Every structure is written in C-alpha cells, then in structure tokens.
Structure 1
Amino acid sequence: MSIAVLSATVLFGIAGAEEAPAPGASALDKAISASKILFNTRLRFENVSQDGFADNADALTYRLRAGFETGKLWDTSLLVEFEHVDDLIGDYNSTINGNTAFPVVADPKATELNRFQVTNTSLPDTKVTLGRQRIKLDNDRFVGNVGWRQNEQTFDAVRLENTSLKGLKLDVTYVDQVNRIFGDDSSMGRWESDSWLVNGKYSLPVDGAKIAIGGFAYLLDIESAPGVSSQTYGVNASFSKGPFTLKGTYAAQSDYAAQPLAYDADYYTVEGGYTQKGFSLKAGYEVLTGDGAIGFSTPLATLHAFNGWADVFLGTPADGLEDIYVTAGYTTKTAAPFSLLKIAAVYHDFSAENTGADYGSEFGLVGVAKLDRFALLAKFASYDSDGFASDRDKFWLQLDFGF
C-alpha cells in the first residue's frame, strides 16, 4: 500500500477514535458479533497450446485468500485480507519466472496484502472507503478487479458512494496506486497513479420495465506507465422488460497527463438478449477505434471477460477492433443436489476497425456446477487467426471453495 493512503487510513482511524464518544459494551459486543472471517481458495489447471511454441503450457496453480471484516463501531468497519498464489506444476511463463519457452499464463507466485480498508457510513446515504480495496464499476469494461486471474487487481484509493437521491448512485474515487495481477516481484506489478474515477447511474421502473442511464469520466494519470494514461468520457443505458434486454455504451477517449501520443479514439457497443426458462441468447457488436498508431484502451478493465477468453486482445490493436459475438446458454438452479448448473457457448468474429482487415475468430465453451460452498468450472477457448497474432487453444479446470 502506498505511504499516502496507508497514512490516511491510520489518521482516519485515529480521528474517529478521538472524536467519537466511548461506546457502551453493547455497541462493542454488536461489532464483535457482526465480524466475520473471509476465506477463499482456488485450485486451477490451465493448458495453453499456441502456435510458435514447441511446448504447451501446463499450469497447476492455487490461491489462498484469508482475512476478516469487523462489524461497525462508530459507523466504521475494518477489512484486512491477505493472498497467497503458488504453483504445483510450473511449465508455463508466469511473466516473471523466466520460462519464456512456454506460452504465458499470467498467474505468478505472490504473497501480499490484498485488501486493507476502512469503511465509514456516518454521513447520510454515503459510504466512504479508504485504503487498499476492490473496485468494480458497471460491467468491469473500464474498471474491474480482474477476478479471473489468481491474483486480483486492487486499488489504493479513497472512494465515496452516495445514494441521497432516489434512484441515483454517485461514485467518485481517487486512485493513488493500482496493484496489478503481476504481483510485487514484477516491474509491471504496481502502477503509481494520480487518477480519478467518476461514475453515476440513475435507475427507474417504467411500465413494468427497468431503465438505467449512466455516465462516467475516467481520468487516468498513470505515472509509472504514461503510455496508458488517458481521459475517457462516456454514457451508457440499459432497458429490460420480461425476457428481453437491450444495452449500449458510447465513450470518447483522448490523451491525458504524460501520455506521449496525441490521439482521439471512440468506443461503442450494443447488445441485445433474450432469456426464457433458463435458456439465454444474446448478440452484440463492440468497437474500439484505432488510428494506426494507437487504439482505444481500457487498462484497468477485467479484460478476460471481453473480446474472447483466449486473451488475444488484452491490448487494443493500433488499427482498432471490431468484435461481433453471439452467446447461447442454459442455467438451472433446480438440478439437485447442485445449487446451480450452467453451460454456455460463445462465438466471436474479429476485424480491424480502421482498415477492415480480418483478424480471426474464436469459439468458447464453459460449464459451471455449484454444490454448497464448492464451485467446479470447466472452460475452453480456441482462437483461429486470420493474420493477427497466432492460433491458440486454452483449457481450464477449476475448483473453488469459500465462505
């Protein structure tokens, strides 16, 4: 955690202790009884077969995440959580282990403080969170925790969330440091930041439908990686009624702070879906523009959830990206003894936004089964190149347990 945020966290706690009256035993008892242990463990096997590599990557990794969250005392709670990631089979390039003869599986070994945050709710309809924390905005397309990887992304930040006006949520965050998935031992593991994340959403029911309209401004000044600094302003909207959903987003991005390139880029997407008796179907069109030198970027996003699970497009190509996709699936919560069974298939067709050149296509398949506190996942993705990057197949088998 950065010195500035850690100091602010300590001062925040001291100020609260000095200014608040001494609690009665009942208040302290309530805080203690409301405290809880945080625990999650994940075991995952990932296989990558990629053209250009003589050997496949085989990564058997595990994650242990443990901590606690106190109940509220003087409207204030404390959360502390540690994380340990290690491998049992290391035949892969973790990005820091030097095994460059293998394809990349971005799950390096790490032992670190994952979250350390103080949350205060003493102001009406307001929550203030200070310290190292998890931040997920909207659908994680611009800001997320990269929860797919073993070591999640967290933020040393001050965050304010307000719901004073009915139906309206305002979310403002100042980010001092980004703690990335690559860990403390990587030169890419920490980004020093002087960034602002502003997000607002207004939700309202209309004639049995649900409508949400939002706006956002993300001013990213990444001091240790100026090439990803940018300013992004956007709007989004969603509509759902019965089995139908429709949503879309538009954003404009340009250079900001120490970004060495002057550029302007756009992002837009539209997606429609239909769900009935557990069956679902959705189709979408997503565009990130590029001018041949640089493309629209979302460096704080949970990128694995977008543009294919094979992770070919974690960075937007200089000529931009067009992604046409279709997803079909089935979910049930009544298949005893399982609390949930899910299967889904997705197809992507990729091309360059600037030139129209074909990039390739990808097919993915996933299955999930949940039983009590356990979750089992099997997942497959196959990218077929048409001139961009290289062909690759990826397979995952994962077991989660947590409370």
Structure 2
Amino acid sequence: MKGKVLSLGAAALLAGGAFLLTGQTSVSNAQDLLGVSFIENVKPYLEFRPRYEYVDVDNSGNKNANALTIRTKIGVNIGTVLGVNGLSATLEAIDVSAIVDEYSTFIDVNGDGVKEELQRSGYEPVLDPPNTRITQAYLAYNFGNYVFIAGRKYVAIDDHRFIGTVNWRQMPQSLGVIAVAGKPIQNLDFLLAGVYERKFIVDSGNLDWDLDKMPIVLDVNYKVVPQLKIKGFAYLLTDIHNTYGIKASGAVDLGNGVKISYLGEYAKQTDPYENDNADTKPDIDTDYYRVKVGASAMGFFGNVMYTYFGDAGGKDAGFSVPLATNHKFDGWSDVMLTGAAFGFDYGMKEWCFSVGYKNPTLGKVMIAYLTFDSDKDPVGPAGKNIGSEIDALYAKKLTKRLSFLAKAAWYNGDDGYYNDGVPYGRNDVTKYWLQLDYKY
C-alpha cells in the first residue's frame, strides 16, 4: 500500500491553478507594454473527486481490489482571446493519484484477450491508473449561429451511446477535433468534426490519425415538434468501421406532473472508409437497435430499455461502440465492456429495467435489473445465456459544490460471451463505490 496523497503532477497543477487565481499582475504588465489584451473574462474552475472502489471476481485467482483514488482537475475558460470578439479558449489538466493502490490497472485495449497497461499484478483491475494529462486545450470561434472548434476537448453526443467522455473513470476520454457546429435554420442543428487524436482513459488506448485519414463525425438533429426529435448520424471511424444511423426521441407531458418519454434508434456498420494505424481494413457487416420507454411522476421514475448488438456473421467483428461511455449502458460491473467496445461474436440482446425516486432534499435512489443473452448460438458447449446483473445507486447533493455518491453492481455470470474467440463474463462480479465530488 502506498501513502501517496498527491503526485508531483498534481502539485504542479495546483501551483498552476494558484497562478491562474492570483497571477494577474504579470498579465496586466504584459498588456500595458504591448497595448493589447491577450485574454479577457478568465474563469478558472477546480474539481476534487476522491473515490473508493472495491472489486471482487469469483474464481479469478486474483485478490480483491481496493482502490482509493483522487481526481484533481484544474481548468480555465477564457472568454476572449487576443481581443477578438467570439474567439474563446479552454485549457484543462487532470491528475489522478492513488492513496490506496491494491489494484491492477490492466485493460484489454485491443479486444484480443491480451491485458495491457499492467501496473500491479495479483489484484483485480480498477481502470484508474495514476496519471497526469492535459485533458482539454482548444480554441472556439463563434460566428452567428455557428461555432468553429480546434483542439483537444470532451465530445459527448446525446446520451453517450456512440461517442462519450467516459467521465465515470477518473481520467476521462477526450478527442482532438477540427469541428464546426451550427444551427442553419430553426429547429435544425448539426455537428461535423474530424478527429485527429483520441486520449483514452488509459494511455495504452491513445490513438493518432493523419489529417487526411481522420475519423469523421456527422450528427444532424431536427425538432419536428416539441414531442419529437429526429437524428441522422454517420460516424466514420478510421481502422474500425463506418456507422450510419437514425434516431427518434421525445417526451409527452400528460399533465399533473406525469411524463412519458421514448427513444428508438437503429444503426448499420460497414467496413471503415479508410485505414491508418491498421494494416488492412476490417470486414464489417452488422447492425444495432435500441428501444426505450420511460415514465415519471411526483419524483418517481421508471424505464424499460431493449438493446440489440448484431453478431459478427462470419466477418471480422460484431457491432461495437468503441468511443462510447459504455459503463452507463451495459451494466456498471463493466463485464460487457469488451463486447460493447470491440463486438460480440454472437451478438448480444440486453433488457434493462430501472426504477427510482428523486427528490432535492432526499437525493436520488435507483435500482436496475439487466439480462444479457447471445443472439446466435455460440460454437461449442456454451449456451446463449450470458448472465444478469443488479445495479443500485444513491446520490445526494450535500452543498452547492459538494455531492455524494454510493453505487453497487452485482453481476451473475452464466455462459458468458465471446469477443474474437476469447470468452468473457462467466464469473460472478461484485463492485462497490463511494465517492465525493467537489466543484468550484
């Protein structure tokens, strides 16, 4: 066990944050000398997020994991750069430090069963290795109804099902983008982005692409009526696959505080339009759909969701969402993580039933029950019943800036599933989390 409270990286970040908060004299002198204001409307922000995570995997041969980690985030939003109206910037850094490090930090970054980024063997993994990184550094230029963005930033589309920040982990995912977003006409908005880098939650998952071979993100939304929003999207991920899809969602207010929400989504995956880091293009032909219905009234809420991941069908991989925040969708135990990120050989059918209650005074309580089954019969003696899971959560805002979270996941393994011929999900998994989050 190590007693490291903050690494040197965090100390450096804190020192830099102190300069941002108090070092205005030097900036002012430079402006006086040069007669120009380089930056204006500077707003620093901070976050401290300590979290305890416990992991127990039956019959794995590893010791149970006990991880107490701290995320220290320091950032600054600059409202005006070089005196140019509409030109703004954001700069942010995160340090992840471990106080209790009875855990390994391996992850199967390639989906091939090879566990990489190994920090401490003999323990179950917790994907929060000590690390320090510039998480955001970008310029944005607002012109009328459009914004042009260049640099590294968080990219979250809708509910993170295809592209998200993975902000649940202490080191989130950010992307290097050259992008334009806008609203050319009423009720219509779009995002068009080229992605030149990916900074993953662990460094072994980082990727870079040549500018002429960048992944392309196109997302178009149109609000037909207040109760119906339609989306069309194309996510062309170099080296991985092309994804084309459509989504309809909305909510209907029935009066007296009763609301019904719905979502329907379909996507098709094919070969990627280009390969860069990979020697050859993978052969992909599969699909996906998701249907969700929810209801809420007087603080109570409930949802039913069905998700289908298509199988490999004799091709290189089943349907996958490698840039998504998969922890949010496919069980908090993360047993389905490899399949969602790299594909289920025989497909996957998931049911999720969740109920809860939310009140500003009492907080939020939620419990979910999930079942997972293969779509096609696996080759060999294994059956189609992958497993099931129960997730539970309690969250409470303690003060204006401080919040508390307690969360648990109990996965009951059965036949498991396969990715690239490697079995996953056959062992029972128990996970617990306790977290405080302070933001300024």
TM-score by structure 1 length? Answer: 0.85
- Using the TM superposition, give the Cα deviation of residue 102 of structure 1 relative to its aligned residue in structure 2, in angstroms: 1.2
Partner residue in 2 for 1:377: 405
- Using the TM superposition, give the Cα deviation of residue 191 of structure 1 relative to its aligned residue in structure 2, in angstroms: 4.4
Partner residue in 2 for 1:13: none
Pair 1:144-2:152 in alignment: no
**1:305 is aligned with what amino acid?**
K
Q: Is this contact kept in 1: 2:241–2:284, CA < 8 A?
A: no
Partner residue in 1 for 2:18: none
Worse overlay, 139-148 or 291-300: 291-300
Q: Is this contact kept in 1: 2:408–2:430, CA < 8 A?
A: yes
Pair 1:237-2:248 in alignment: yes
- Using the TM superposition, give the Cα deviation of residue 261 of structure 1 relative to its aligned residue in structure 2, in angstroms: 3.3
What secondary structure sits across from 1:315 in the alignment?
Answer: helix
Q: Is this contact kept in 2: 1:252–1:267, CA < 8 A?
A: yes
**1:215 is aligned with what amino acid?**
G
Return the alpha-carbon distance in structure 1 between the equivalents of residues 385 and 121 of structure 2. Answer: 28
Partner residue in 2 for 1:271: 292
Partner residue in 1 for 2:268: 252
What secondary structure sits across from 2:218 in the alignment?
Answer: strand
- Using the TM superposition, give the Cα deviation of residue 54 of structure 1 relative to its aligned residue in structure 2, in angstroms: 4.0
What secondary structure sits across from 2:338 in the alignment?
Answer: coil
Equivalent runs, 1:102-141 vs 2, <5 Å: 102-121=123-142, 123-141=143-161
CA RMSD of aligned residues (A): 2.0
What secondary structure sits across from 1:35 in the alignment?
Answer: strand
Return the alpha-carbon distance in structure 2 between the equivalents of residues 360 and 399 of structure 1. Answer: 31
**2:350 is aligned with what amino acid?**
D
**1:393 is aligned with what amino acid?**
T
Partner residue in 1 for 2:369: 347
Return the alpha-carbon distance in structure 2 between the equivalents of residues 91 and 287 of structure 1. Answer: 36
**1:239 is aligned with what amino acid?**
G
Give the length in aligned residue pairs: 360
What secondary structure sits across from 2:215 in the alignment?
Answer: strand
Q: Is this contact kept in 2: 1:124–1:164, CA < 8 A?
A: no
- Using the TM superposition, give the Cα deviation of residue 93 of structure 1 relative to its aligned residue in structure 2, in angstroms: 0.9
Worse overlay, 170-179 or 189-198: 189-198
Equivalent runs, 1:305-384 vs 2, <5 Å: 305-316=328-339, 317-333=344-360, 335=361, 341-355=363-377, 357-370=384-397, 371-384=399-412
Q: Is this contact kept in 2: 1:30–1:71, CA < 8 A?
A: no
Return the alpha-carbon distance in structure 2 between the equivalents of residues 84 and 312 of structure 1. Answer: 26
Q: Deviations over 1:188-211 (max 9, x none)?
A: 233446210000111143xxx521
Pair 1:89-2:100 in alignment: yes
What secondary structure sits across from 1:395 in the alignment?
Answer: strand
Q: Is this contact kept in 1: 2:197–2:206, CA < 8 A?
A: no
1:218 to 212, 235, 256: 235
Partner residue in 2 for 1:4: none
What secondary structure sits across from 2:334 in the alignment?
Answer: coil
What secondary structure sits across from 1:120 in the alignment?
Answer: strand
Pair 1:161-2:181 in alignment: yes
Q: Deviations over 1:49-87 (max 9, x none)?
A: 002134100110001010211113421011111110110
- Using the TM superposition, give the Cα deviation of residue 124 of structure 1 relative to its aligned residue in structure 2, in angstroms: 2.0
TM-score by structure 2 length? Answer: 0.78
- Using the TM superposition, give the Cα deviation of residue 284 of structure 1 relative to its aligned residue in structure 2, in angstroms: 0.9
- Using the TM superposition, give the Cα deviation of residue 262 of structure 1 relative to its aligned residue in structure 2, in angstroms: 1.4
- Using the TM superposition, give the Cα deviation of residue 374 of structure 1 relative to its aligned residue in structure 2, in angstroms: 0.4
Q: Deviations over 1:80-119 (max 9, x none)?
A: 1111011011111112343231111111111111110101
Partner residue in 2 for 1:58: 66
Return the alpha-carbon distance in structure 2 between the equivalents of residues 41 and 173 of structure 1. Answer: 31
What secondary structure sits across from 2:227 in the alignment?
Answer: strand
Return the alpha-carbon distance in structure 2 between the equivalents of residues 191 and 377 of structure 1. Answer: 35
**1:67 is aligned with what amino acid?**
G
Q: Is this contact kept in 2: 1:31–1:71, CA < 8 A?
A: yes
Partner residue in 1 for 2:429: 392
Partner residue in 1 for 2:6: none
